[in-house]
Each structure stands twice: as C-alpha cells, then as structure tokens.
C-alpha cells in the first residue's frame, strides 16, 4: 500500500471517529433514566430536604424522614439536614422555615439513620 | 502489465473501512468509555417509585404551607415529559392532577397512611382549577394524638402573602448552572405582597421561571388548627338512572355553607371485607364527591372518618325502566356538619 493510501486510511478513521463521537455525545447521547434522588442537582436536593422537614411537621415520624433523606446519599441524614439548615440560614430564610428544619434535625439526633443502598442507575444508549 | 491497471481500478474500500472503524471507535468511546454524565439530574429523570415519593412530599409540603404556586412549580419539574420538552402550563397541570389522583387512589387501596392520601387528594383538588378549602393541618394529622405548645407554634405558618420578607425559592429546569441553595433562594426576586383580601385562585401561575424573573405570590390558603368537623347524614336517596353504568354509593360532603369538602375519608365494610375511599379525587364531578361500586347480594355499612354515625343496610336496590327492565340503582348520601 502506498504511503498516500495509509494516510488516507487513517484520515478516514479520524473522520469516522469524529462522526461516531458526534453521534454518541450530541445526537444520541447516553440517557440516564430511572435515576435516584442521590443524583439530583444540588438545588433540588435542598428543596427535597425542605419538603421532608415540612412533611415531618405533620407526620412526626423521624424514621420515615431519615429513610427519605437517606435516598439523597449523604454521609448521614443529620448531615444532610445540617447542610440544608446552613443554606437556609445563609439565605435569611423565614424563621418558621428554619424552625421546621431544626425540628427535623432535633428529631434525627435521637434516631440513627439507616444506611440505604440505592439501586444502580440504568443506562440506555 | 496488468498489475498497475488492477491497482488503478481497485475501488477505495480502505477509506470506507477506515470510516467504519472510526465510527465504531467513536461510538464505543462516547457510549462506554466516556459517556455523557448526568450528575445534576432534574426530578423528571427519577425512577417512577422515587417520583411517587417526591409527589407525596410535594403534597405533604402543600398541606403544611398551603403554597399552591410552589407545589405547581415542583410538580412541573417532576412531570415534564421524558425528553424534557416543557409542555404548556395547562397540560402540565392537568397531567400532574391526573397523576396525583391516580396515586391517591392507589395509596388508599394499598392502605397507605391517611396523612399521605389526604394530602395527595387535597393537592389534586387544589389543582382542579377551582378554589379549595384551606388544608386543615389537624384534618390530616390523625396520626398525631396531641399537639404540644411548641408544635402549635411551629405548625402555624405565617401566610406567605402577609410576610413582606417571605423567601420563596424558585426552581427552574432552565437553570443551566448549578447554583448553590443560597444563590437559588437569593436569586428569587421577591415582590412584597399586599394584604390578603381574596383567597380565590384567579390566575394559573407560571410554573417555570428563570433566575431573576419575578412572580407575585398568589394568596395562598392558610393551614389552620381548627378542629376537623364531624359530619352527619343529611339525606339518603335512591337514584334510578339507567345512564349510570353500575350501581354505586355516591357520597357528597359539604360544610355548613354548602361548600364541598375534599379529603374526607369514608370507611365501608361488608361481610368479609372493608375498604376506604376519599372525597375530592374526582374534581370534575365535585370536590366533595366520592363513589364506591356495589356488588350484588352484598350488604354494606359505611361511616365517615371522625364520625360516629354508621349508615347500615346499604345494598343494591332494583329500579325499573319504562320497558320494565330491571337494573341496580345508586345510593346518594349527603353529609354535612350537624
């Protein structure tokens, strides 16, 4: 094979790779379906903690709250709540909202959060 | 002498081979070696059972803070379609409402806690585009025998519309960056609300807002600590309507001013079984409406949750058409406070 042909061959491979990468990354990228709350964007995770704190106001069930928070995949439910409380405090949130998160934090102090292994995310190329 | 001619006539298959190899390499790299990573996923990508849990949290949150705008925002993020193409607001709200109704019915059937079923029912009713009664904290607080003074102080949220410094975090799919919670909250442009004068929901608020976009919070319903009223049977009628496909018990619950009450749980018993259903899950018929299909040759007794009155001997009564064809009639039971 002449050198020109080899060059053309490798150029063709490069062109093909570019086409493949463009198709795989842009046109039809891997789509993550059936994700878990642990992969949520940070802003949604914080909102999730707020909702758990509000739900705790009427359910008064620290075990249920801890189980919900465990889905976020933090080190512990307490830490997750403390992070949310810090964010809320820095944002000068309303006292009533801060109090709800503190209530949840206090309840979790007397409860050991369970470790929850969330199932793996399915990938569909 | 023929060899050079063969080389000249040979088609450039090596180029095609190169492109195919390149494409395979590219796809393999893009899909397996370094696929697109979705670390900051939106709620819409959650698995269905996690979506159900998320929906329950939205409903419980609404039951506590009465903020329908926020509940709609959260539901809109959850119920966008699989390709993340935002639907129009009305479609999204209708879709969310249907999902809430279905989930509430399933929760009742599965014997999930009353707090959950009522919260789902109330939010579904609130999304029915009509003003709804304020969610009563105690009405869904059956699992809580008593409220301590501290609980009371915490459980009485200040209505959003009466607090000038209300911080209403906004959520949007269109946020391209990943803002910190503090940024998110501070980025919500706040409009000092006016004093609440009208609780009627007149406008369907925007469900997706970009950062910096302002919204005026609608007057939100205010959770109250008013004790849930008990109801008594006001009327019991047999409806003979051949148009009804099957014999049923229909329940209508209203307050003293004839305003329909949603979220009232109904317990029904028969020999060898029992079930519960809840008012407000069919907002197209009525916010205080619920129904239960009857089985022939079965006698039912029925009671509203929180009420002592037991309605006995409910069974299919026969009706007759003008052509003397027989069919099962439907019982209409109307309840109201004593």
- Cβ distance A59 to B40 less than 8 Å, yes or no, reads no
Helix (H, G, I), strand (E, B), or coil: what is residue B224? Answer: strand
In the predicted model, what is the mean pLDDT of residues A11-38?
84
- Structure-block tokens of residue B70: 């926020």
| Pairwise CB contact (< 8 Å): A94 & B171 | no
Element of type H or E holding B249? strand B248-253
Distance from CA of A1 to the nearest CA of B (A): 10
A55: closest chain B residue by CA = B60
Taking an 8 Å cut-off on Cβ atoms, the answer to whether B30 and A24 are in contact is yes
User: What is the pLDDT, as a whole number, of residue B158?
Assistant: 33
Q: How many Å apart are CA B92 and CA B129, to the nearest integer?
A: 13
Contact A16 B26 (CB under 8 A): yes
Instruction: Indicate if the pLDDT at residue B88 is higher than 80.
Output: no
B162-197: buried (b, 16+ CB within 10 Å) or exposed (e) per residue?
ebeebbbbbbbbebeeebebbbbbbbbebeebeeee
Task: Check residue A50 and give its pLDDT.
Answer: 92
- Arithmetic mean of pLDDT, B80-93: 65
pLDDT at B307 over 50: yes
Best residue in A16, A86, A116 for a mutation probing chain B (most B CBs within 10 Å): A16
Selected for mutation to probe chain A from B21, B25, B30, B60 (highest A CB count within 10 Å) is B30
pLDDT band at residue B268, thresholds of 50, 70 and 90? confident
Q: Does B146 have pLDDT greater than 60? A: no
Q: In terms of Cα–Cα distance, which of B152, B160, B181, B156 is closest to B169?
A: B181
Q: Which of B127, B145, B132 lies closest to B222 in space, CA to CA?
A: B132
> What pLDDT score does B191 carry?
30
- φ and ψ at residue A103, rounded to 5 degrees: -55, -45
Using a CB-CB cut-off of 8 Å, the residues of chain B touching A14 are: 22
How far from chain centre, in Å, is Cα B93? 9
Rounded to an integer, what is the distance from CA B53 to the centroid of its chain? 11
Query: Would you tell me how many other CB atoms lie within 10 Å of the CB of residue A16?
Result: 23
pLDDT band with cut points at 50, 70 and 90 for residue B131: very low
Query: Can you give the pLDDT at residue B57?
Result: 95
What local confidence, expressed as pLDDT, does residue B55 receive? 94
Is residue B172's pLDDT more than 70? no
Are the beta carbons of B92 and B77 closer than 8 angstroms? no
Write the residue in B35, B53, B167 that is nearest to A68 by C-beta.
Answer: B53
Q: Give the per-residue pLDDT at B160.
A: 38
**Nearest by CB: A32 against B38, B155, B163:** B38
Position B198 scores a pLDDT of 33
Per CB-CB distance under 8 Å, the chain A contacts of B182 are 87, 90-91
Beta carbons of A32 and B22 less than 8 Å apart: no
- Kindly report the average pLDDT of chain B as a whole number: 69
Between chains, do A43 and B171 touch, taking CB under 8 Å as contact? yes
| Nearest Cβ partner for B163 among A14, A39, A94 | A94
Structure tokens given for B338:
């004593």
Q: Which residue of A91, A92, A93, A123 is the best one to mutate when testing the B interface, meaning the one whose CB has the most B CBs within 10 A?
A: A91
Q: What is the mean pLDDT of residues A51-62?
A: 92
Average pLDDT over residues A41-59: 91
Mean pLDDT of B180-201: 32
Model pLDDT, residue B173:
40
Q: What is the mean pLDDT of chain A?
A: 83
Higher pLDDT, B125 or B221: B125
- Give one DSSP letter per residue of B311-334, joined into a string: EEEE---EEE-TT--EEE-EEEEE
Taking CA–CA distances from A119, the nearest residue in chain B reads B47
Compute the count of residue pairs across chains A and B with CB atoms less than 8 Å apart: 216
| B177/chain A closest Cα distance in angstroms | 10
* Rounded distance between C-alpha atoms, residue B118 and residue B108, angstroms: 9
Task: Look at residue A40 and give its three-state secondary structure.
Answer: strand
**Nearest-CA distance B285 → chain A (Å):** 29
pLDDT score of B271? 83
Mean pLDDT score, B104-123: 86
In whole angstroms, give the CA distance from residue B228 to residue B141: 10
Greater confidence, B290 or A30?
B290
Q: What are phi and psi of A17, to 5 degrees?
A: -65, -40
B47 and A20: CB-CB below 8 Å?
no
Predicted local confidence at residue B327, as pLDDT: 86
Share of chain B above pLDDT 90, in %: 9
Contact B167 A96 (CB under 8 A): no
Q: How far is B27 from chain A (nearest CA, A)?
A: 5
pLDDT of A83 above 80: yes
pLDDT by residue (tens digit) across B233-256? 988 988 888 887 788 899 999 888
Q: Is the pLDDT of residue A53 over 90?
A: yes
User: What pLDDT is stored for residue A55 in this prediction?
Assistant: 94
pLDDT digits (tens, 9 = 90+) for B272-286: 777 778 887 777 777
Q: List the Cα angle B64/B68/B74 in 5-degree steps.
A: 95
Looking at beta carbons, which residues of chain A come within 8 Å of B82? 33
> Which chain A residue lies closest to B16 (C-alpha atoms)?
A12
CB–CB of B38 and A39 under 8 A? yes
CB A54 within 8 Å of CB A84: no
* A11-25, B111-125, B208-222, B248-262: least confidently modelled range: B208-222
Of B26, B31, B175, the CB nearest to A18: B26
Q: What is the mean pLDDT of residues A34-53?
A: 90
Could you report the per-residue pLDDT of B1-54, keeping only the tens digit for each? Answer: 455 555 556 678 888 888 899 889 888 888 888 776 667 888 988 999 999 999
Q: Which pLDDT does position B212 carry in this prediction?
A: 34
**Distance between B223 CA and the closest CA of chain A, angstroms:** 11
Give the highest mean pLDDT range of B53-62, B98-107, B113-122, B192-201.
B53-62
What was the ipTM of the complex prediction?
A: 0.74
Tell whether the model's pLDDT for residue B114 goes beyond 80.
yes
């Amino acid at each position: 094979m002449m050198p020109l042909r080899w060059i053309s061959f490798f150029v063709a491979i490069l062109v093909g790779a570019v086409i493949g990468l463009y198709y795989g990354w842009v046109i039809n990228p891997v789509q993550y379906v059936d994700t878990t709350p642990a992969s949520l964007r940070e802003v949604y995770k914080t909102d999730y903690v707020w909702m758990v704190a509000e739900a705790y106001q009427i359910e008064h069930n620290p075990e249920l709250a801890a189980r919900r928070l465990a889905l976020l995949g933090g080190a512990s439910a307490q830490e997750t709540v403390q992070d949310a409380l810090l964010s809320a405090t820095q944002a000068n949130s309303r006292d009533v909202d801060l109090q709800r998160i503190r209530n949840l934090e206090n309840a979790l102090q007397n409860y050991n959060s369970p470790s929850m292994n969330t199932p793996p995310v399915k990938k569909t190329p | 002498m023929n060899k050079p001619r063969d080389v000249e006539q040979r088609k450039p298959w090596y180029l095609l081979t190169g492109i195919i190899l390149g494409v395979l390499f590219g796809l393999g790299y893009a899909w397996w070696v370094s696929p697109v990573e979705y670390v900051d996923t939106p709620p819409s990508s959650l698995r269905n059972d996690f979506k159900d849990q998320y929906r329950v949290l939205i409903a419980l949150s609404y039951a506590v803070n009465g903020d329908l705008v926020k509940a709609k925002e959260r539901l809109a993020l959850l119920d966008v379609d699989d390709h993340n193409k935002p639907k129009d607001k009305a479609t999204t709200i209708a879709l969310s409402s249907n999902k809430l109704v279905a989930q509430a019915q399933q929760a009742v059937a599965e014997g999930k806690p009353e707090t959950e079923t009522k919260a789902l029912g109330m939010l579904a009713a609130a999304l029915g585009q009509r003003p709804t009664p304020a969610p009563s904290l105690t009405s869904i607080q059956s699992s809580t025998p008593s409220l301590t003074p501290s609980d009371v102080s915490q459980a009485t949220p200040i209505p959003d519309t009466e607090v000038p410094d209300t911080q209403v975090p906004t959520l949007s799919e269109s946020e391209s960056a990943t803002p910190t919670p503090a940024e998110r909250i501070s980025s919500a442009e706040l409009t000092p609300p006016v004093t609440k004068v009208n609780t009627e929901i007149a406008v369907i608020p925007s469900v997706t807002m970009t950062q910096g976009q302002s919204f005026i919070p609608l007057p939100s319903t205010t959770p109250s600590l008013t004790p849930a009223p008990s109801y008594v049977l006001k009327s019991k009628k047999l409806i003979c309507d051949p148009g009804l496909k099957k014999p049923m018990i229909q329940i209508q619950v209203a307050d003293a001013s004839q305003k329909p009450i949603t979220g009232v749980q109904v317990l029904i018993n028969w020999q060898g079984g029992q079930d519960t259903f809840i008012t407000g899950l069919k907002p197209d018929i009525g916010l205080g409406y619920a129904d239960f299909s009857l089985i022939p040759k079965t006698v039912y007794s029925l009671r509203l949750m929180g009420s002592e009155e037991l309605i006995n001997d409910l069974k299919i009564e026969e009706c007759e058409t003008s052509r003397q064809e027989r069919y099962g009639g439907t019982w209409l039971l109307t309840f109201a406070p004593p």
